[in-house]
Amino acid sequence: MSPLEIISRMCDVTNTLSDIVKKQQEIIEQSKIEEAVKADLRQQVKETDRELDVIEYHSRRFCDTDDIEATFGKE
Protein backbone atom coordinates (compact mmCIF):
# COMPACT_ATOMS: atom_id res chain seq x y z
CA MET A 1 0.00 0.00 0.00
CA SER A 2 1.47 3.35 -1.04
CA PRO A 3 1.48 6.40 1.26
CA LEU A 4 -1.07 8.16 -0.94
CA GLU A 5 -3.34 5.12 -0.85
CA ILE A 6 -3.13 5.05 2.95
CA ILE A 7 -3.99 8.75 3.13
CA SER A 8 -6.91 8.27 0.77
CA ARG A 9 -8.25 5.34 2.77
CA MET A 10 -7.87 7.30 6.00
CA CYS A 11 -9.89 10.14 4.49
CA ASP A 12 -12.61 7.69 3.42
CA VAL A 13 -12.74 6.17 6.91
CA THR A 14 -12.85 9.61 8.51
CA ASN A 15 -15.75 10.58 6.27
CA THR A 16 -17.53 7.35 7.19
CA LEU A 17 -17.09 8.13 10.89
CA SER A 18 -18.45 11.61 10.33
CA ASP A 19 -21.52 10.20 8.58
CA ILE A 20 -22.08 7.76 11.46
CA VAL A 21 -21.87 10.55 14.03
CA LYS A 22 -24.32 12.69 12.06
CA LYS A 23 -26.73 9.78 11.83
CA GLN A 24 -26.42 9.14 15.57
CA GLN A 25 -27.04 12.78 16.33
CA GLU A 26 -30.25 12.79 14.28
CA ILE A 27 -31.49 9.67 16.02
CA ILE A 28 -30.65 10.95 19.48
CA GLU A 29 -32.44 14.20 18.74
CA GLN A 30 -35.57 12.24 17.88
CA SER A 31 -35.21 10.57 21.32
CA LYS A 32 -36.68 7.26 20.17
CA ILE A 33 -33.93 4.79 19.42
CA GLU A 34 -34.96 1.35 18.19
CA GLU A 35 -32.79 -1.66 18.96
CA ALA A 36 -32.32 -2.41 15.26
CA VAL A 37 -30.98 1.09 14.67
CA LYS A 38 -28.62 0.86 17.62
CA ALA A 39 -27.35 -2.51 16.38
CA ASP A 40 -26.80 -1.12 12.88
CA LEU A 41 -24.83 1.85 14.21
CA ARG A 42 -22.77 -0.38 16.51
CA GLN A 43 -21.88 -2.56 13.51
CA GLN A 44 -20.90 0.46 11.43
CA VAL A 45 -18.67 1.76 14.21
CA LYS A 46 -17.10 -1.69 14.65
CA GLU A 47 -16.35 -2.05 10.92
CA THR A 48 -14.94 1.47 10.66
CA ASP A 49 -12.81 0.99 13.77
CA ARG A 50 -11.38 -2.20 12.26
CA GLU A 51 -10.57 -0.36 9.04
CA LEU A 52 -8.71 2.32 11.01
CA ASP A 53 -6.72 -0.41 12.76
CA VAL A 54 -5.75 -1.95 9.41
CA ILE A 55 -4.71 1.43 8.01
CA GLU A 56 -2.66 2.19 11.11
CA TYR A 57 -0.95 -1.20 10.86
CA HIS A 58 0.03 -0.60 7.23
CA SER A 59 1.17 2.96 7.88
CA ARG A 60 3.66 1.97 10.58
CA ARG A 61 6.24 0.97 7.99
CA PHE A 62 6.20 4.54 6.62
CA CYS A 63 6.45 6.39 9.88
CA ASP A 64 7.88 5.36 13.22
CA THR A 65 5.63 7.16 15.70
CA ASP A 66 8.45 7.30 18.26
CA ASP A 67 10.62 9.12 15.74
CA ILE A 68 7.98 11.38 14.18
CA GLU A 69 8.99 14.59 15.99
CA ALA A 70 12.61 14.24 14.95
CA THR A 71 11.62 13.54 11.33
CA PHE A 72 9.16 16.41 10.92
CA GLY A 73 11.17 18.84 13.04
CA LYS A 74 13.95 18.88 10.42
CA GLU A 75 11.72 20.01 7.56
Per-residue model confidence as pLDDT tens digits over 17-53: 999 998 888 888 776 778 888 888 888 888 988 888 8
Averaged pLDDT of the chain: 78
CA distance 62 to 10: 14
Q: What is the pLDDT at residue 71?
A: 46
Q: Where are the alpha helices (DSSP H) in 1-75?
A: 3-30, 35-59, 68-73
CA distance 23 to 59: 29
Q: Does the structure show a pLDDT above 70 at 68?
A: no
| pTM score | 0.62
Q: What is the pLDDT at residue 31?
A: 65
Residue 59: CB atoms within 10 A of its CB come to 16
Q: What is the pLDDT at residue 20?
A: 93
CA distance 24 to 32: 11
